[in-house]
Amino acid sequence: MSVKTDLKINIPDWAKKDRIYHVFFWVGLYVAFIIVDPNPLSAFVFIKELVNIFFYIIIVYFNLFYLIPTYLRGTSSGIHYAIALVLSAIVLTPIKTLVFYLLFTNQPGVQGFFIAKQGTIFFSTLFYGAVSTIFQIILDWQKGTREKIELQHKNTESELKYPIAFFK
C-alpha cells in the first residue's frame, strides 16, 4: 500500500534557473550578519547566524512555494494568507528557540538570552516572510505587465497586417 500526498509545491521557473543567485544571496546575507555583529570572529556568532539564515530560508521558501501559490494566487483572500504567514512564524519561533537552546546546552546564560528574545525571533521571522511576499508580488506584477505589453504589441501587429478586415 502506498501513501499518496496531495501537497503540490509549485517551483517557479526563476527559482529553477537562478539557483546560483539564491545561493549567493543567502551566503552574502550570512556574511553580512557576521560582519555587522559586534564580535564577528566568535564561534557563537558563526553558529547563531547560521541558524538564523537556516530558519529565514525555511520561511522564505515555504512562503514562495506554498503560501503564496495557495493563498494569494488562489481563490483565498489576503486575510487567509496573512493568518497563514503569521501562524508559520509562530510555529517556527519555538522550534528555532529550541535549536538555540540545544546548541548552547553548556551555557545557561545564552539559553536564557534566546528564551527571553522569542518576540524578536518571531518578528524577524515574520519580517523575512513579509519581505519575500513583497518581492514576489513585485515580480508577479512585472511579469503581468510584460505579458500585457506583448499582447498589445501582437494585437497591433495583427491589425496592421490585415487592415482591410477591420474596415468592412
pLDDT in tens, 15-59: 566 788 889 999 999 999 999 998 888 889 999 999 999 999 999
Q: What is the dihedral of CA 64, 69, 72, 74, to 10 degrees?
A: 180
Planar angle of CA 90, 130, 116, nearest 5 degrees = 40
pLDDT mean across residues, the chain: 86
Question: For residue 61, what pLDDT is reported?
Answer: 95
Span 54-74, average pLDDT: 91
The residue ranking higher by pLDDT, 146 or 53, is 53
